[in-house]
Amino acid sequence: MNTLAQDNCIRVSDAQISLEHTFSCGQCFRWEPGRDGSFTGVALGRAVRVWTEGEDLYLRCTEEEYQEVWAGYFDLDRDYRPIAEGLARDEFMRRAVEHGWGLRILRQEPWEALCTFIFSQCNHIPRIRQIVDRLCRLCGEELKFEGERHYAFPGPERVAALSGEELGSLRAGYRAPYVREAAQALALGQLDLAELREGETDVARQALMALNGVGRKVADCVLLFGLNKLEAFPVDTWMKKAEGLHPDCAGPYAGIAQQYIFYYMREKGIDKGRQKSL
């Protein structure tokens, strides 16, 4: 894999990524597909457009932005081939990995991961996207990108300062107070997500679960998608019984395995009670 700056964009050769699978597998909520096959999204306070041609990934950004933001966000320094090959050693995982080929775990901003996965509880992905979009439009910083208007994900201080009426306008239901409490904990320095990222996974999990409205599932989603803990395994309620069936539900890449499983089973519309027969 190497990079080349050309024509106002960055080309990453042999990037081993499927943008479709990466963005639609349920790990993130802020990427929009364009008619030309590209995707436009906002992360880490920046907007960008990305697309693939063959094995190459293209990003509409400067080389400086690529190095500072996007190489890390897309986890492009990590070689996914041996990981995927290792996971695919049993038949079920082989099918899941084949289905989700090119899926990469994004290194999202920790607070955004926490906030969006609190919204995710008992919710549909399209509706999660709408709630997150309303939040960003309500209080996120406006970003100009190629003549388009985008909005950054608002920091915890801004969310903590929202009025009850503003929170209600998100139409997030009973999850809104959970998000506000989490935002307040961060804004007041009672919880430091950057610190958790550097520490032990179990310690971070316990700290996250101490928040009201954050259980094991949401905590592990934050660990996996926001704190780069690839061994975290966000077990779905219906997936609990399958936990013992797949050896990849443990180990250093359990989170990646889990995301392949989640994406595979959701896309295939596989019934929740039938996972044992897969």
Partner DNA sequence: TGCCAGGCCGAAA
Partner DNA sequence: TTTCGGCATGGC
Q: Which is nearer to DNA, 143 or 167 (CB)?
A: 167
For 133, the enclosing helix (H) or strand (E) is helix 125-139
Question: Where along the sequence are the contacts to DNA (CB under 7 A)?
Answer: 25-27, 117, 120-127, 130, 168, 171-174, 209, 211-219, 221, 234, 236-237, 239, 258-259, 262, 266, 272
User: Could you say which DSSP state residue 242 is in?
Assistant: G
272 is catalytic: no
* CA angle at 231 for the pair 105 and 32, rounded to the nearest 5°: 20
User: What is the rounded CA–CA span in Å between residue 38 and residue 58?
Assistant: 9
Alpha helices per DSSP H over 150-215: 156-160, 164-169, 175-187, 193-198, 201-209
Compute CA distances 15 → 19, 97, 100, 103, 258, whole Å: 11, 17, 15, 11, 22
Q: Which is nearer to DNA, 9 or 222 (CB)?
A: 222
- In angstroms, give the least distance from the CB of 264 to DNA: 11
- In angstroms, give the least distance from the CB of 66 to DNA: 25
Q: Which is nearer to DNA, 185 or 214 (CB)?
A: 214
Q: Are strands 3-6 and 9-12 parallel, antiparallel or unpaired?
A: antiparallel
- In angstroms, give the least distance from the CB of 104 to DNA: 12
Q: Which is nearer to DNA, 124 or 276 (CB)?
A: 124
**Going along the chain, which residue ranges are E strands?**
3-6, 9-12, 31-33, 39-43, 46-53, 56-59, 142-145, 148-151
The one catalytic residue among 217, 240, 268, 276: 217
Q: In what order do the strands lie in the sheet with 56-59?
A: 3-6, 9-12, 56-59, 46-53, 39-43, 31-33
Q: Which is nearer to DNA, 11 or 137 (CB)?
A: 137
- In angstroms, give the least distance from the CB of 58 to DNA: 25
Alpha carbon of residue 138 to chain centroid = 21
Residue 17 backbone dihedrals phi, psi, to 5 degrees: -140, 140
- In angstroms, give the least distance from the CB of 67 to DNA: 27
Q: Is 142 helix (H, G, I), strand (E, B) or coil?
A: strand
Return the active site residues: 217
